[in-house]
Amino acid sequence: MATESELTADETSGGGLAPAPAPGRLIVLSGASGSGKSTIVDRLLADHPKLPVRRSISTTTRAPRPGEIPGVHYDFVSKAEFAAGRDRGQYLEWAEVHDQYYGTSVEPVTRFRAQGLSVILVIDVQGAFIVRDKVPDAVLIFVQAPSLAILEQRLRDRLTDDEATIELRLNNARREIALADRYDIQITNDQLDRAVHELAQILQSDPPGA
């Protein structure tokens, strides 16, 4: 028999069990390096603090960029640590991107969705399609830069990558952009405010079938 501490307020007042919240939505945001996908999510969460949404913190083996905070932007681990987590089944999805590993931990995504909160995953194209296979009702959104030339300029303006790395990112970008039509929604990040507004509208809309 449940103790009073295990009962909800509705139960102790005679109202019966409080219904469990409907599971939150899973939103997958992808885009080529330099498309601004992470910036859009950062701005969304800053401008709309009351939205019932959480950002999943990805795990990566790459080094932090200037201004990135461990546990806030990414969980930074060694390749050996990543491999150990992968072998334990820790990741909902994982992929090798730009010669580094990225993954999404299952536990926080499951926990937040069970609380009725939507979860945004900012992940690459490989990971997005893995998530779709595992969670068919996930909403996949692809962020486009206005043009490949602007994408290249954004990468160069970072001042964090050498020429070989920039070329690698551009080659990967071409392959990723070619797959954008397989996403449910595309957002063009030509104006940050507008892109953030579009993403907020998607999150505030009713999911299909609701």
pLDDT of res. 67:
85
pLDDT of res. 73:
86
CA–CA dist 76, 62 (Å, integer): 7
Contact 175, 129 (CB under 8 A): no
Q: What count of other Cβ atoms lies within 10 Å of the Cβ of residue 175?
A: 10
Domain boundaries, the chain: 23-204
* Of 45, 72, 42, residue with least CA distance to 60: 72
Average pLDDT for consecutive 10-residue bins of the chain (210 residues)?
42 58 93 91 94 94 90 93 96 88 94 96 93 95 92 84 86 93 96 96 74
Residue 27 pairs in a beta bridge with 120, 139
The CATH number fitting domain 23-204, selected from 3.40.50.970, 3.40.190.10, 3.30.590.10, 3.40.50.300: 3.40.50.300
CA distances from 171 to 23, 80, 158, 176 (A): 38, 27, 18, 9
CA–CA dist 200, 210 (Å, integer): 18
**Edge-first strand listing for the sheet containing 118-122:** 53-55, 118-122, 26-31, 139-144, 185-188
pLDDT for 113-142, tens place per residue?
999 999 999 998 989 999 999 999 999 999
pTM of this prediction?
A: 0.81
CA–CA dist 151, 154 (Å, integer): 5
